[in-house]
Amino acid sequence: MRVHVLPTERFKTYALSLFIGIPLSESRVTPVALTPFVLRRGTASYPETISFRERLDHLYGAGFGFDLYKRGDYQIVQMRLDIINDRFVSSDESLLKEAIRFLGEALTAPALEDGHFRTRYVEAEKTTVERRIEAIVNDKIRYAAERCVAEMCKDEPYRLLALGRKEDLPGLDAAKLHKQYEEWLGSAVLDLYVSGDTSLAEVVPLVENAFRLPAGSPDRYAPPELRKPRSEPQTVVERLEVGQGKLNMGLRTASTYGDAHYPALLVYNGILGAFPHSKLFINVREKASLAYYASSRLDGHKGLLTIQSGIEIENFERALGIIREQLAAIQAGQISVEEMERTKAMLANQLRELQDSAYERISFDFNNVLSATERTGESLLAEVEAVTPEQVTEAARGVGLDTIYFLRDRKGEG
């Protein structure tokens, strides 16, 4: 496991983030997704969920949680723990030491019975995961976004949900899940971050005593596979009981986070649809009044860009046409001075605001680990400020439309 320390006296707490990454695959995606739900139920020292939570309370209300997501071609589990700095409490124990010990035990010494996970914890959390997967269908904005990516990447592992597959859950019992948990720990890429008033020299011995990990050197993240867009975009229409249409589009880019062209791609996305002054918002929503929302999102670790819009179902062709016009406009160099200036100002604000959150600073630094690059907030800000309209146009010409996904009602269904 790599250990990263971001020393700062800016915050009154220590922020711990443990990133556990493994390549996305059909056989592992569901057990990996289920595992952190089970781990949060108890540890060897605090096997009952109530005692697990009471321990956090005793640590001056320390906060513990986790996230599941995809980065590049990897499924990432991020475990987080924040705890007050020792300087602000009267305690005989080092809270940083106890926080690291708690996180280490939560990952590597879970509550067991008969040599495997507790059955009642596994069965309860299978239901939790199942409900979360089902909830995606009820959130039509997220559902359309996930389905668009799944269709665009239908023959790639990236099509898989970070939450796993509902149909895999019945086949996972406590013994099978524990076996796959051990395999996961043995093959995952692990990075532990500690942000706060501390040092690497203080943290490393605490980590060595707290984590019971298999021997070996830390692995590295492999770069994602960049694919070219289809020569002709595919159109996928899905029908459900909906009142509003969801028009989503998937595009492939020629750059990822670690590339020199990434800052230009960031500015391109800002001009296209990331902000209220962007072309999609102004032309599709404001001027044409065709969309309830219209925006774009860049996934710099996978090299994908997605467009999301909510429209009246009968406006599909008009909305699609205007969106394609905006893509063509940037490729043709139709970028105003105001669009450049406002986009750079918005990106600069975002980069400066990173410093206000320990977890945002950690996530930014983790981007470097994922992409095998070295960028600071300051260096990326300088790169963004230096981007020219010509570089944005060049970035736009490297973006190709791959998939058009439309979620509509069942009216007229044959």
Give tens-digit pLDDT for 238-265. 999 999 999 999 999 999 999 999 999 9
Asked whether this chain's domains 2-210 and 234-408 adopt the same fold, the reply is yes
Query: What span, in angstroms and rounded, lies between the C-alpha atoms of 109 and 263?
Result: 42
Give how far Cα 296 sits from Cα of 230, 307, 390, Å. Answer: 20, 4, 21
What region does 78 belong to: left with phi over 0, alpha with psi -120 to 50, or beta? beta
Domain 2-210 of CATH type 3.30.830.10: yes
pLDDT of residue 218: 80
Number of H helices, E strands in the chain: 14, 12
Residue 177 and residue 34 in contact, taking contact as beta carbons nearer than 8 Å: yes
Is the distance from CB of 202 to CB of 85 less than 8 angstroms?
no
Q: What is the pLDDT of residue 271?
A: 98
Question: Cα–Cα distance between 249 and 304 in angstroms, integer?
Answer: 11
**What's the CATH superfamily of 234-408?**
Metalloenzyme, LuxS/M16 peptidase-like (3.30.830.10)
Mean pLDDT in consecutive groups of 10 residues from the start of the chain, 414 residues: 95 96 97 98 97 94 96 97 88 89 97 97 98 96 97 96 97 98 95 96 96 87 92 97 95 95 97 96 92 95 97 96 97 97 97 93 96 94 97 97 97 73
Helices of type H across 230-357: 262-269, 279, 316-331, 337-353
* pLDDT, position 414: 60
| pLDDT given at position 225 | 85
Q: Which residue has the tokens 């220590």?
A: 14
Q: Measured between alpha carbons, how far is 121 from 256 in angstroms, rounded to an integer? A: 39
Instruction: For the chain, give every domain's residue range.
Output: 2-210, 234-408
For residues 100, 104, 106 and 108, what is the CA-based torsion angle, rounded to 10 degrees?
Answer: 180
pLDDT at 406: 98
Q: What is the pLDDT of residue 88?
A: 83
